């Protein structure tokens, strides 16, 4: 019974922390972004990713760092108390969230693998400036994409390979390889595992910033910037789809494209609108938070035990 109560209480605390964390970031991620303004697209993407997975981290830290030790240390082993309705209900919510998350990730991975198989059927390997393999697809593939998590591959459609100049294609490939280096596809899969309603806007903002970060990584001169802008325009013309056919997410990407190309035009002319928060500010905030947690750990364990007692009753 002790073990069952321990599991029930731990899972309940996980769910409470996860849900509260998710609601908090859903409401406050824009404010947090303004406060911690990191400056570059890469740092902004990293911050948005950290905010997005914060509920999962918070839930794990609360469960493993506080709830579990508090229960093991402060709960008498001998008592024959029942698990309680509230912990049982919350544990059921945990199971539902876990199944939803894992199923979503497995489904996304399977759909991607199927699409990749289709695109790679009859494809030819192209010269790549990098260890990441590049394939020219003869099937109905997107113009330029990087697919896969464990063994990512860049796929270039026949149309794109025909329409882009070698310089444009090289810059576009560098853009895709930047996604591979930053494990963007893995991060997308993590989003699916840590699923929660109402995080679409945050994920879309992250996706926009990853594109900008990959643009930055692909470009090292104004010539590169213009080549990439040209590649974007040409590839966009190949992929025009009727507005009626577009989902909201695609319309969003369609709007962001103009901004992205104009940003490339302005390459090297002081693009940063606001200065970034200095690194010491973020480091200091984190260290201060850690100090508060360490100094009040005993009190936290006691508080958590009272909370679990209340929850079990």
Residue ranges that bind another protein, judged by CB under 8 A: 104, 108-109, 111-112, 115, 118, 140-149, 157, 159, 172, 175-176, 179, 184-186, 188-189, 191-192, 200, 203-204, 206-207, 210, 214, 222-223, 226, 229-233, 235-254, 257-258, 261-262, 265
Between residues 70 and 185, which has the closer beta carbon with respect to another protein? 185
Phi, psi of 292 (to 5 degrees): -60, -45
Min dist CB 305 to another protein, Å, is: 39
Between residues 5 and 179, which has the closer beta carbon with respect to another protein? 179
Between residues 3 and 244, which has the closer beta carbon with respect to another protein? 244
Write the DSSP string, 183-227. THHHHHHHHHHT--TT-HHHHHHHHHHHHHHHHHHH-SSHHHHHH
Min dist CB 247 to another protein, Å, is: 5
Check: CB of residue 5 under 8 Å from CB of residue 46. no
Helix axes 222-238, 166-181, angle to 10 degrees: 90
Check: CB of residue 86 under 8 Å from CB of residue 12. yes
Min dist CB 102 to another protein, Å, is: 15
Between residues 20 and 109, which has the closer beta carbon with respect to another protein? 109
Min dist CB 235 to another protein, Å, is: 5
* Cα gap 74→71, rounded to integer Å: 5
Min dist CB 192 to another protein, Å, is: 7
* Cα gap 46→213, rounded to integer Å: 10
* Cα gap 221→224, rounded to integer Å: 5
């Amino acid at each position: 019974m002790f073990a069952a109560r321990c599991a029930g209480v731990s899972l309940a605390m996980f769910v409470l922390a996860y849900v509260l964390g998710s609601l908090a970031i859903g409401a406050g991620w824009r404010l947090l972004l303004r406060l911690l303004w990191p400056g570059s697209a890469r740092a902004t993407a990293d911050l948005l990713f950290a905010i997005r997975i914060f509920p999962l981290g918070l839930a794990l830290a609360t469960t493993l760092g506080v709830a579990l030790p508090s229960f093991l240390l402060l709960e008498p082993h001998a008592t024959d108390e029942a698990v309680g309705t509230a912990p049982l209900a919350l544990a059921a919510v945990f199971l539902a969230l876990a199944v939803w998350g894992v199923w979503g990730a497995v489904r996304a991975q399977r759909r991607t693998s199927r699409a990749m198989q289709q695109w790679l059927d009859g494809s030819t390997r192209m010269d790549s400036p990098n260890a990441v393999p590049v394939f020219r697809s003869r099937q109905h593939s997107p113009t330029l994409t990087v697919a896969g998590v464990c063994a990512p591959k860049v796929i270039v459609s026949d149309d794109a390979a025909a329409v882009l100049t070698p310089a444009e294609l090289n810059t576009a490939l560098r853009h895709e390889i930047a996604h591979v280096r930053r494990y963007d596809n893995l991060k997308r899969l993590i989003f699916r595992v840590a699923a929660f309603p109402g995080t679409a806007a945050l994920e879309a903002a992250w996706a926009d910033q990853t594109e900008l970060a990959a643009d930055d990584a692909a470009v090292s001169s104004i010539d590169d910037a213009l080549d990439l802008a040209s590649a974007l325009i040409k590839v966009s013309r190949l992929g025009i789809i009727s507005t009626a056919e577009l989902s909201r997410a695609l319309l969003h990407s369609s709007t962001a494209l103009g901004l992205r190309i104009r940003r490339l035009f302005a390459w090297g002319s002081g693009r940063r609108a606001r200065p970034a928060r200095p690194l010491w500010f973020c480091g200091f905030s984190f260290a201060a938070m850690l100090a508060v947690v360490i100094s009040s750990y005993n009190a936290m364990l006691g508080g958590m035990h009272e909370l679990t007692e209340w929850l079990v009753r």
